[in-house]
Amino acid sequence: MFTRAERLISLRNLRPKKKEGFLKIISIFSFLGIMLGVAILIIVMSVMNGFKTDLTNKILGLNPHIVIEPNSFKIDNNYISKLKKDFKKITISKTYSGEGIVISNDKAKGVILKGIDKKEHNISEFFDNFLSQGDLKDFNSNKIFIGSELAFNLNLKKGDAINLMTSSFVSTPIGNLPKQENFKVAGVFTTGFIEFDQNIIFLNIEDALSIFDKTSEDQNIEIYLEDPLRANFYKDKIQKINENYFIYTWSDLNKSLFSALKVERNVMFIILSLIIIVAAFNIVSGLTILIKNKTKEIAILKTLGLNNKSIKKIFFLTGLTIGFFATLSGIILGILFSINIEKIRILLSKVFNFEIFPSDIYFLEELPYEINFSSIFIIFVVSLTISIIASYLPANKISKMKTFRALRYE
């Protein structure tokens, strides 16, 4: 594609003479601008990918992948048996959830009460991973598990007594009153997902049905999959078995959140790509000045037999070389920075005495990252394309130059 002579002359252009120091400065700024633009783009995309992945894993680890609600129809054992028969690799559990109020130490807070069966495999696995106080064997009737944030806010610990109130009513001589029962804290769980830890209370399924004045026919079916990302595929299949039930997936509950993350990621990509475009203008200006200063040399090359096409390729290769190596350096810098981003965050927080990544806002305990090589490839292609365009525009104008005048008085 490029002859040896073209490569040698192009390489020479990258090392301007001392009197062309201004060109050297422009080349350096072009290189640094593209390198930093690519590095920043990779860092931001890696953090956003990591944030999305961590958030997804938190949601998948704390919530069922598919939920089937009776929707005024009874969920019988025949339906459950058919689910197990048609879908071999799923885990099914019965639960019931509703809103309630926890009252303790003259404090009250609205929470989600979730009735579960501790014998279910996925339930025991959850508490094995996240239980910080207590033991699952103590999770019996009139015992509850609460989140660490809720325990902190209400000053609760294992063994303390609390009162739970729901929207169900009981008849009394003075009228209908909200149903409430007393429970003891059997344990405290810590997931690291603050919204979950301060708003969820687990109790036995029998206690949940009792406090909400429900029967076993009102229980929900929760399904856990080997591949949660295929939840919508299974949802469509399950819906065809019986369309009377209301079925939704974890992605349905969080659709607006992930849509917002996707839009934000795309917008950030476009905005940060402008850094590379701005840096590429330095290549345009640098090559334009270089071509202008090399008018005499271009004329000499033409007299030696090089045509306009070869000369265009020489200056095009000069700009492309800057763009290519700047992009490559930016990728390396971006990957290294992303891998060590948590250490860098901790260092900056100590130096400036400022919390850069508040966990109570972002629901994560550390700054996440995920190196996505398909994203890096896209960034590489975008940066290289911008460099190609920036190199081609000034090089293309060489054919319009009247270089013969440069030798008239030589």
Q: 187-244 pLDDT, tens per residue?
A: 999 887 777 888 889 999 888 888 888 877 778 888 888 888 888 888 888 888 888 8
| Residue 398 pLDDT | 67
The reply to whether 43 and 97 lie within a common domain is: no
Residue 306 forms part of a structural domain: yes
Residue 235 forms part of a structural domain: no
| Residue 286 pLDDT | 75
The reply to whether 221 and 350 lie within a common domain is: no
The reply to whether 221 and 124 lie within a common domain is: yes
185: pLDDT strictly greater than 50: yes
Residue 140 forms part of a structural domain: yes
Residue 77 forms part of a structural domain: no
Residue 72 forms part of a structural domain: no
| Residue 373 pLDDT | 87
Among 180, 201, 225, which residue terminates a domain? 225
The reply to whether 15 and 138 lie within a common domain is: no
For 108, other C-beta atoms within 10 Å of its C-beta total: 13
| Residue 23 pLDDT | 61
Three-state DSSP state, 16: coil
The reply to whether 49 and 94 lie within a common domain is: no
The pTM of the full predicted model, rounded to 2 decimals, is 0.67
Domain of 149 in residue numbering reads as 90-225
The reply to whether 147 and 201 lie within a common domain is: yes
pLDDT tens digits, one per residue of 337-364:
988 888 888 887 788 777 766 665 555 6
Three-state DSSP state, 167: strand
Greater model confidence, 388 or 8: 388
Among 225, 241, 274, which residue terminates a domain? 225
Residue 82 forms part of a structural domain: no
Among 203, 225, 247, which residue terminates a domain? 225
| Residue 295 pLDDT | 67
The reply to whether 397 and 283 lie within a common domain is: yes
Total domains present in the chain: 2
Per cent of the chain over pLDDT 70 is 81
Q: How far is CA 222 from CA 25, 46, 75, 231, 244, in A?
A: 64, 33, 12, 12, 16
Q: Minimum mean pLDDT among 1-15, 98-112, 189-203: which range?
A: 1-15
pLDDT tens digits, one per residue of 245-280:
888 888 887 777 778 778 888 888 888 888 888 878
Q: What is the mean pLDDT of residues 397-402?
A: 62
Please, is 250 exposed, middle or buried when counting C-beta atoms within 10 Å of its C-beta (0-12, 13-18, 19+)? buried
| Residue 356 pLDDT | 67
Give me the chain's average pLDDT, please.
80
